[in-house]
Amino acid sequence: MHGPGRPPVHGRATNRHSSAPADRRRFREHEVPGTPEAAEESAEQPAADQHGGSPIDDLRSLVIEQVTGAAGFLRRRITGDYEVDEFGFDQDFADNVFLPALRPLFEKWFRVETRGVENIPMHGGALVVANHAGVIPIDALMTSVAVHDHHPEHRALRMLAADLAFEMPVIGNIARKAGHTLACHPDAERLLRSGEIAAVFPEGYKGIGKPFSERYKLQRFGRGGFVCAAMRAGVPIIPCSIVGSEEIYPKIGDITPLARLLDMPYFPVTPMFPHLGLLGLVPLPSKWYIEFGTPIVTDTYDAAEADDPMVLFEVTDHVRETIQQTLYRLLAERRNVFMG
């Protein structure tokens, strides 16, 4: 195993997606469907066998599959039969630990509906640019599940995150293993040039820390650094609009002195936090929509235009306006915050 900055470790190819064998109905050679012998044999079959398996059989198959997958993961951990790339991305960990831990939130709690995932290329690099909200950046995690689980190629979404994410103990190590890296030009360009799908949230802390009264109003997108990285790599920009994340922790206040004491960008006050303690950290079960828009091509620009402030501003504003208008449309279609 190698850490960040070292060549990848090459291991044996493994199949991470095992499945239980399907039930097979066998007839004796002398039996033909429709004959009395076949009818007698069919009558002797349990009803569940004739209808594709009972719930108990399905549960048993699921348990066997999960136990087999966990055993395989532990074996690869012990033998070192997995790869870590130069950024610290451990795909075996991401596929078998990180993403499965997020799926209950994605599928059951937020009931995320994903749209436009076909706009993400099947192969090659692309930069997903999304709005950011929710006090705690759960939206980034849900977007990574949406891309991996709903894209035909199950592509990994590599987040470009702020320094704070990697300075936190445990969290920083998990973020690296899940494939994420610093939101800086060198890392962004290397990811995009190597054919990865990267994601950036240009609003940063201004987005996730804004008050509930300003929900779904995009903050400033910075100076267009993400556009410059996409232009230099010649990859498309995919606008991404997320609805539902603003309601999970309605921010109604900010304890600034406490935030400074803890060296945090803000210390939020919501209707349930901090006066309900840890219970207040449970996000509200809002209904989510994640929509990936039409790609904005960048390979038509000259190399010199990647350093032109006016060009960067124009493209940045176009991406921002596209996301904002999509947010308005999704909000107009939504009938209820929690039911969708």
Mean pLDDT of 193-198: 96
Q: Is the pLDDT assigned to residue 113 strictly greater than 90?
A: yes
Q: Is residue 17 part of a domain?
A: no
Cβ pair 248, 286 in contact under 8 A? yes
pLDDT the model gives residue 223: 81
The 3-state DSSP class for residue 1 equals: coil
Q: Is residue 217 part of a domain?
A: yes
Mean pLDDT of 53-79: 81
pLDDT the model gives residue 214: 92
Q: Is the pLDDT assigned to residue 217 strictly greater than 80?
A: yes
Mean pLDDT of 196-214: 93
Alpha-carbon gap, residue 302 to 79, rounded angstroms: 48
Of residues 69 and 247, more confidence is placed in: 247
- Across all residues in the chain, what is the average pLDDT? 85
Q: Is residue 289 part of a domain?
A: yes
Mean pLDDT of 146-175: 93
Give the torsion through C-alpha atoms of 125, 127, 133, 138, to 10 deg. 10
- Reported as a pLDDT band with limits 50, 70 and 90, residue 59 is confident
Q: Please, is 249 exposed, middle or buried when counting C-beta atoms within 10 Å of its C-beta (0-12, 13-18, 19+)?
A: buried
Three-state secondary structure string covering the chain = CCCCCCCCCCCCCCCCCCCCCCCCCCCCCCCCCCCHHHHHHHHHCCHHHHCCCCHHHHHHHHHHHHHHHHHHHHHHHHHCCCCECCCCCEHHHHHHHHHHHHHHHHHHHCCCEEECHHHCCCCCCEEEEECCCCCCCHHHHHHHHHHHHHCCCCCCEEEEECHHHHHCCCHHHHHHHCCCEECCHHHHHHHHHCCCEEEECCCHHHHHCCCHHHCCCCCCCCCCHHHHHHHHHCCCEEEEEEECHHHCCCCCEECHHHHHHCCCCCCEECCCCCCCHHHHHCCCCCCCEEEECCCECCCCCCHHHHHCHHHHHHHHHHHHHHHHHHHHHHHHHCCCCCCC
Helix runs in 169-308, H state only: 171-177, 185-193, 204-208, 225-233, 256-261
Q: Is residue 96 part of a domain?
A: yes
Mean pLDDT of 258-283: 90
Alpha-carbon gap, residue 212 to 67, rounded angstroms: 43
Strands 237-243 and 268-269: unpaired
pLDDT the model gives residue 70: 80
Using only C-alpha atoms, the chain has a radius of gyration, in whole angstroms, of: 24
Mean pLDDT of 122-143: 95
pLDDT the model gives residue 31: 41
Q: Is the pLDDT assigned to residue 62 strictly greater than 80?
A: no
Q: Is residue 110 part of a domain?
A: yes
Q: What total of structural domains would you count in the chain?
A: 1
Mean pLDDT of 189-216: 93
Q: Is residue 26 part of a domain?
A: no
**Token representation of residue 283:** 């996000």
Q: Is residue 272 part of a domain?
A: no
The pLDDT > 70 percentage for the chain reads 84
- Reported as a pLDDT band with limits 50, 70 and 90, residue 1 is very low
The 3-state DSSP class for residue 181 equals: strand
Alpha-carbon gap, residue 137 to 144, rounded angstroms: 12
Domain that includes residue 293, residue range: 90-248+283-333
Q: Is residue 324 part of a domain?
A: yes
pLDDT the model gives residue 212: 93
Report the CATH number that the domain containing residue 146 is assigned in CATH: 3.40.1130.10
The pLDDT > 90 percentage for the chain reads 62
- Reported as a pLDDT band with limits 50, 70 and 90, residue 263 is confident
pLDDT the model gives residue 74: 87
Q: Is the pLDDT assigned to residue 180 strictly greater than 60?
A: yes
pLDDT the model gives residue 202: 94
Q: Is the pLDDT assigned to residue 315 strictly greater than 60?
A: yes
pLDDT in tens, 24-54: 333 333 344 444 444 444 444 444 444 456 7
